[in-house]
Chains A and B, each alone.
Chain A
């Protein structure tokens, strides 16, 4: 019931690898790491969710916050590697309608 957030920066590309669960407890850590990246100008943020086994509305809210911040700073935000459960939550909440979500991991390499 924890979350690990690893950030790897390659010039403008910011790779964020999440491991664990995104809920009300781990949300503050994710926010702390993700929002400053999204506020950087002209960045391409790629959040890898392939090791996320649980996410709820708190996580969706953070991605919306990050999307807003990236929009303001002329950056882009993309979610990759979501498993079927996580993807389903994105569909129900409508996050998939407003955000670039790719469950295909080939983009990562």
Chain B
């Protein structure tokens, strides 16, 4: 595996208005690395979903330091993004519970409005790991699709049968 060449770290207030700033930052980094337009858009959505989770769920109003942390590991063949909060330990299994696409066979009044974020992260990124020892930590990897780079099997092609 290639050595890490650059590490970029951001610490921001866990507020809705900064999620767009994280998106722009990550988009700039991915663009510099030569990702395709579609891959950059996928990375933007995935990182925004992770940040949205921090903003909506990580902290109670009383807590003093409400931060979201972003780490970008830049490798020759991939980008590793870690979004973390300090909202305290969570149970990863229950965190993952309820994720999935909208269930089309349900009556309209029973459709759920949440649970899509994590599903999207896992669909749009190549590798996702979640831990929750001192807060939610979502580590996600997107491989750079060049000729010489091994194609990852569970990428974008999945939703094609929907057409």
Q: Which of A46-78 contact B (CB under 8 A)?
A: 54, 56-58, 60-62, 64-65, 67-68, 71-72
Is A68 touching B111 in the complex (CB atoms < 8 A)? yes
B44 touches A54 (CB 8 A): yes
Q: Return the 10 tightest CB-CB contacts between A and B, nearest first.
A: A1-B20, A97-B104, A94-B102, A94-B101, A57-B116, A25-B16, A61-B113, A24-B52, A71-B108, A24-B16
Distance in Å: Cβ of A28 to nearest Cβ of chain B = 8
Contact surface of A with B, Cβ cutoff 8 Å: 1, 21, 23-25, 27, 54, 56-58, 60-62, 64-65, 67-68, 71-72, 85, 88-89, 91-98
Q: Is the CB of B16 within 8 A of A93?
A: no
In the bound assembly, the distance between CA atoms of A105 and B28 in angstroms comes to 32
Contact present for B52 and A60 (CB under 8 Å) = no
User: Which single residue of chain A is at the shortest CB-CB distance from B107?
Assistant: A71
* Segment 81-112 of B: residues with Cβ below 8 Å from A: 101-104, 108-109, 111-112
A90 vs B101: C-alpha distance in the bound complex, in angstroms? 10
13 further contact pairs, Cβ within 8 A, besides A57-B116, A64-B113, A92-B159 = A1-B24, A23-B23, A25-B19, A61-B113, A61-B114, A61-B116, A64-B102, A68-B109, A85-B38, A85-B41, A92-B123, A93-B116, A94-B104
Question: Contacts A24-B55, A57-B117, A61-B113 given: A91-B48 contact, CB under 8 Å?
Answer: no
Name the B residues within 8 Å of A58 (CB-CB). Answer: 52
Q: Tell me the B residues contacting A by CB distance below 8 Å.
A: 16-17, 19-21, 23-24, 38, 41, 44-45, 48-49, 51-52, 55-56, 101-104, 108-109, 111-114, 116-117, 119-120, 123-124, 159, 162
Q: Taking the nearest CB of chain B, how far is it from the CB of A65, in angstroms? A: 5
Which B residues are CB-close (under 8 A) to A71? 108-109
**Residues in B neighbouring A62, C-beta threshold 8 A:** 113
Could you name 14 residue pairs across A and B whose Cβ atoms are closer than 8 Å? A1-B20, A1-B24, A23-B16, A24-B48, A25-B20, A57-B120, A61-B116, A68-B108, A92-B123, A92-B159, A93-B116, A94-B103, A94-B104, A98-B111
B19 contact set on A, CB distance < 8 A: 23-25
Task: Point out the residues of chain A lying under 8 angstroms from B109, CB to CB.
Answer: 68, 71-72
Q: Which residues of A contact B17 (CB under 8 A)?
A: 25
